[in-house]
Amino acid sequence: MNTFFCSDYAKQVGEDVIGSATNYQAYILVECPPPWFSEAFNSKWVPKNLQLLVQEVHHAKLPIRFLLIANDASHKIDQTTLLIYQRQDGLSNGYRKHEFKLPNIELVATVVRKWLLGRTSEYEIETSVTRDILVCTHGSHDLCCARYGNPFYFYANATIADLCLGNIRIWKSSHFGGHRFAPTAIDLPEGRYYGILDQKSFQSILTRTGDIQCLNKVYRGWGILPPALQILERELILANGWNWFAYKAVGKIIEQSLDNNTILGELTFEDSSGLYTYQAKLVKDATKTLQVKSSCNAIKKSVFVKYAVDSLWLASQKVVTYSK
């Protein structure tokens, strides 16, 4: 019997990865050595108080994503890193980081509960790290994340070291969706998602240099935007180049047809010259909307609707003028 690999199939049918980034208000990342069970927070090293908190947040339908993370040293150290990335309101370039160094993983639930109530913790630290990149290696959840995520993580670690990027950390992560695009990654604090990565495209993303067109293949979208608007943002990236990554933005859907085939979206961004608002008519792209199995163990195929930018126009601009 041939083993089905969802990532191979998505590549074979040419599924476009854009529009597959998920939208969360916060990411709570808990350092915990693997192995991880398919349901990550049921894993051996996850304490009961943290399991209960994750269940409570899930039942309350809060837009918070809990993930387990680990690096090559996680099983050797006698402390636990807790990272909370909180989305900023309005125009932003992503998420704000809170980092905690805890004596043990049993304290995670207490610190997170405090944070949910808006209270600070004595375990919060300052760090020189400016980016945390998560690579899904969660093979017990999906075969492709082991098959493609693990080797990618290994080589990505080497790429970061070769480029002497001491302010960037890379982590193995539990499942965050889109394993049919393995190897897949989230780049925080921006909250941008990538898939079908290789070391060449990864180096471009790390350094923001090289051929911007590589994003046509590997960019899943920006997690601060609704999925349908992620295609619009990709158009603006390709038009603006790597400079776009320094801009602040906010986006919203203004209206959509009852059948969801047509969407009017708006994206406002701020660069050094001013504030610009683009609007776009997005239409269902029948040629790119596919029926695929979303994971290696999926029984049925799911429909993934893709949109195309039908028309795009500048709705307003506020240009900054500097007087001499």
What fold does the segment set 225-319 form as a domain? Nuclear Transport Factor 2; Chain: A, (3.10.450)
The whole-number average pLDDT for the span 105-123 is 95
DSSP state of 92: B
Integer Cα distance of 162 and 156 in angstroms? 10
Integer Cα distance of 169 and 190 in angstroms? 14
pTM: 0.95
Residue 140: both structure tokens together: 């017990």
Residue 142: both structure tokens together: 């999906």
The whole-number average pLDDT for the span 291-318 is 87
The whole-number average pLDDT for the span 211-222 is 96
pLDDT, mean over the chain: 92
CATH architecture type of domain 6-217? 3-Layer(aba) Sandwich (3.40)
Sequence-distant (6+) residues with CB within 8 A of 86 are 25, 26, 95, 96, 98
Q: What is the pLDDT of residue 324?
A: 53
The whole-number average pLDDT for the span 275-303 is 87
Portions of the chain given CATH number 3.10.450: 225-319
Portions of the chain given CATH number 3.40.30.10: 6-217
Is residue 133 within 8 A of residue 169, CB to CB? The reply is yes
Q: What is the pLDDT of residue 322?
A: 60
Is residue 178 within 8 A of residue 197, CB to CB? The reply is no
* pLDDT surpassing 80 at residue 294: no
Is residue 132 within 8 A of residue 169, CB to CB? The reply is yes
Q: What confidence tens digit (pLDDT) does each residue in 63-95 have?
A: 999 999 999 988 888 899 999 999 999 999 999
Q: What is the pLDDT of residue 148?
A: 86
* Cα angle 133, 137, 139; round to 5: 165
The whole-number average pLDDT for the span 14-24 is 92
* pLDDT surpassing 60 at residue 1: no
